[in-house]
């Protein structure tokens, strides 16, 4: 196997024998085969569209989302689920071929696209064997182009995850599906078809597409559940039966709250679900009691101690040890062998486990620190006049966006230290699970004209980067300048592919001088990094004090 799609990749180069995430060589081969199949399917779709074949695009569009989502880091580790995906993909290809008849077949032949003897319907063992043939080509002279194609693929995976959340809430946009399909088709073309320049352009376009994906998801979330509002979230559990919900899918949280209403079972958020507490249509449930635990990498200790079932709606799932695996349920693209997977919207099996498990007892002695959330764009922009005034009068001197993913590496302490060292007259916007490094610390408030502006504004999940961007654009507008000219610095911690798509979005918007860490992506070839440094001033994080000086100077 070879995989280097996430930040924790072994030695910063690539996982080979087994993934550091727990992914086996077998699952890795199946994921490689699924990606290959998605490219194949979308090449067929591309030519079918050009030849007016009766479209079944909705099905392949949805399949693109679930297939890509399943290959994200820490999402799906289940060989049988990948076998099912591959069978589903094959059926879609066959449907196109059937509808397209001889005409489509001959076009596909002319373009060297396979129309028979697929490798997708073999037994699992055979599929794994075939999948091994499709691992990333590491040939030295092809590296810059191969790696940049991977960068784009990871950007597409991130955006696909956001589109899938929006789809589940009934929000879809065919033009965004079209981009994804065409991009997958393009990535099926050999390395020789691309120049590095054209691929960089393609990467930035993908960043633009991801901005629209996040915008659609923002609309889906806020039109379904209202705009996030400032909310104090308790992290102290209360006595009683309980369920923990992790991941990014607000719809699952809502369904669970509805189905447990009046049952005396309390619901807690974990990891990226924390912002769920700030949506009016979710926080109205009195049995949503707050947040339990921290970021994804702490789940093994935290889930073991949680006295109830756990619902993993999306990434990041860490392979669960036996001591609690019976209590973990998966949803959507998430999968792990022998964990219960909930299809459809009936959570009764999980609720049954909640009733059987011990629940919290004697929690009165605990008094854990609350977290303040809910500074999505609507809420923050409602405070815009005050904030702008505070900037004009010198009460706020600088803004930081310190956000992104968390992870286990000690180098990630950088982001915690940076937040702690930022001067008292500055404001930190934060988002995604990286904020757990500092969201329980008291970094104070800025007192201005009788108001107390919190120094840390939690904008939400990683997809709420959309909100953060809108806040930055509104500030730039208010000061009649552009985002790069604002007293605003970006320090982004990345881990998996959603962060890659967000980074491409920031680059597409022309945002410069982003500090990126804890390490630079292994799939960015040095020659490409050179270009990114020249064009965008991207830099790896270094010494906190030195970096902070630079940020404040900018
Ligand atoms: Fe964290 Fe995991 Fe949201 Fe990521 S839970 S690391 S970027 O999947 O998605 O921030
Ligand atoms: Fe390694 Fe990350 Fe790939 Fe897992 S997802 S195999 S940790 S690079």
In our burial notation (b when 16+ CB lie closer than 10 A, e otherwise), range 53-83 reads: beeebeebbbbbbbbbbbbbbbbbbbbebbb
- pLDDT band, very low/low/confident/very high, at 140 (cuts 50, 70, 90): confident
Helices 143-168 and 196-225, interaxial angle, to 10°? Answer: 10
CA atoms within 13 A on the CB side of 31: 28
- Domain 231-356 has what CATH class? alpha beta
* Ligand 2 centroid, distance to 270 Cα (angstroms): 23
Query: Does the structure show a pLDDT above 80 at 491?
Result: yes
- C-alpha separations of 126 from 23, 78, 101, 122, 133 in Å: 19, 16, 29, 6, 11
Atom in ligand 2 nearest the alpha carbon of residue 5:
8
Query: Beta partners for 310?
Result: 244, 328
Mean pLDDT of 472-497: 96
Per domain, the residue ranges of the chain are 10-223, 231-356, 375-553
CATH for 375-553 (3.20.20.140, 3.40.50.2030, 3.10.350.10, 3.40.47.10):
3.40.50.2030
Ligand in closest contact with the CA of 28 = 2
Same CATH fold assignment for domains 10-223 and 375-553: no
Q: C-alpha angle with apex 126: 120 to 132, nearest 5 degrees?
A: 85
Which of 52-61, 269-278, 464-473 is least confident? Answer: 52-61
Of 429, 432, 430, which is closest to residue 406 (Cα–Cα)? 432
For residues 141 and 453, which has the higher predicted lDDT (pLDDT)? 453
State which of 432, 439, 463, 494 you would mutate to test the pocket of ligand 1, scoring each by most atoms of that ligand within 8 A of its C-beta.
432
pLDDT at position 366 is: 83
Mean pLDDT of 237-244: 97
Structural tokens at position 325: 């695996």
The protein residue with its alpha carbon nearest to ligand 1, atom 4, reads 405
Ligand in closest contact with the CA of 437 = 1
Report how far residue 383's alpha carbon sits from residue 388's, in angstroms, rounded to the nearest whole number.
9
Report how far residue 206's alpha carbon sits from residue 454's, in angstroms, rounded to the nearest whole number.
34
Mean pLDDT of 418-441: 97
Dihedral sign of CA atoms 133, 139, 141, 142 in order: positive
pLDDT at position 119 is: 84
Residue 3 CB less than 6 A away from ligand 2: yes
Residue 216 CB less than 6 A away from ligand 1: no
- Domain 10-223 has what CATH class? mainly alpha
* Ligand 2 centroid, distance to 141 Cα (angstroms): 24
For residues 57 and 19, which has the higher predicted lDDT (pLDDT)? 19
Please state, rounded to an integer, the average pLDDT across all residues of the chain: 96
Helices 348-356 and 250-260, interaxial angle, to 10°? Answer: 60
ipTM exceeding the 0.90 mark: yes
Which of 45-54, 163-172, 217-226, 396-405 is least confident? Answer: 45-54
């Amino acid at each position: 196997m070879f995989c280097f799609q996430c930040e924790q990749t072994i030695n910063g180069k690539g996982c080979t024998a087994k993934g550091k995430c727990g992914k086996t060589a077998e699952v890795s081969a199946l994921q490689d085969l699924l990606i290959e199949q998605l490219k194949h399917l979308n090449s067929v779709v591309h030519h079918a569209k050009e030849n007016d074949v009766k479209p079944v695009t909705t099905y392949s569009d949805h399949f693109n989302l679930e297939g890509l989502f399943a290959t994200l880091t820490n999402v799906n580790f289940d060989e049988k689920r990948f076998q099912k995906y591959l069978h589903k993909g094959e059926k879609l290809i066959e449907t196109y071929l059937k509808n397209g008849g001889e005409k489509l077949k001959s076009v596909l032949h002319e373009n060297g696209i396979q129309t028979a003897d697929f490798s997708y319907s073999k037994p699992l063992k055979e599929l794994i064997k075939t999948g091994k043939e499709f691992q990333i080509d590491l040939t030295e002279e092809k590296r810059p182009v191969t790696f940049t194609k991977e960068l784009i693929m990871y950007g597409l995976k991130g955006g696909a995850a956001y589109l899938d959340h929006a789809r589940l809430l009934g929000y879809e946009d065919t033009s965004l599906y079209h981009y994804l399909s065409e991009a997958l088709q393009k990535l099926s073309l050999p390395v020789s078809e691309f120049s590095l320049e054209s691929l960089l352009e393609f990467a930035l376009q993908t960043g633009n597409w991801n901005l629209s994906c996040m915008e659609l998801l923002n609309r889906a979330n806020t039109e379904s559940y209202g705009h996030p509002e400032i909310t104090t979230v308790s992290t102290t559990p209360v006595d009683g039966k309980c369920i923990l919900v992790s991941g990014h899918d607000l719809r699952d949280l809502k369904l669970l709250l509805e189905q447990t209403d009046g049952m005396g079972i309390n619901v807690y958020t974990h990891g990226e679900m924390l912002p769920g507490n700030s949506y009016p249509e979710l926080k109205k449930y009195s049995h949503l009691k707050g947040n339990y635990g921290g970021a994804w990498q702490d789940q093994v200790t935290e889930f073991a101690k949680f006295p109830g079932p756990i619902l993993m709606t999306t990434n990041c799932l860490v392979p669960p040890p036996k001591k609690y695996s019976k209590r973990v349920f998966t949803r959507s693209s998430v999968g792990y062998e022998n964990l219960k997977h909930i299809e459809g919207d009936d959570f009764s099996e999980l609720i049954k486990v909640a009733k059987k498990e011990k629940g919290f007892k004697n929690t009165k002695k605990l008094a854990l620190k609350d977290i303040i959330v809910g500074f999505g764009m609507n809420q923050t922009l409602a405070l815009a006049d005050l904030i702008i005034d505070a900037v004009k009068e010198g009460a706020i001197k600088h803004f930081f966006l310190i956000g992104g993913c968390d992870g286990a590496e000690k180098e990630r302490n950088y982001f915690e230290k940076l937040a702690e060292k930022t001067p008292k007259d500055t404001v930190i916007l934060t988002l995604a699970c990286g904020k757990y490094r500092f969201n329980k610390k008291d970094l104070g408030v800025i007192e201005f004209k009788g108001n107390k502006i919190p120094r840390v504004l939690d904008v939400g999940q990683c997809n709420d980067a959309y909100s953060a961007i809108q806040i930055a654009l509104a500030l730039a507008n208010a000061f009649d300048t552009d985002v790069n000219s604002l007293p605003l610095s970006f320090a982004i911690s990345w881990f998996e592919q959603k962060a890659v798509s967000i980074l491409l979005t920031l680059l597409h918007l022309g945002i410069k001088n982003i500090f990126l860490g804890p390490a630079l992506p292994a799939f960015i070839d040095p020659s490409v990094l050179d270009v990114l440094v020249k064009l965008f001033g991207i830099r790896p994080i270094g010494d906190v004090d030195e970096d902070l000086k630079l940020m404040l100077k900018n």
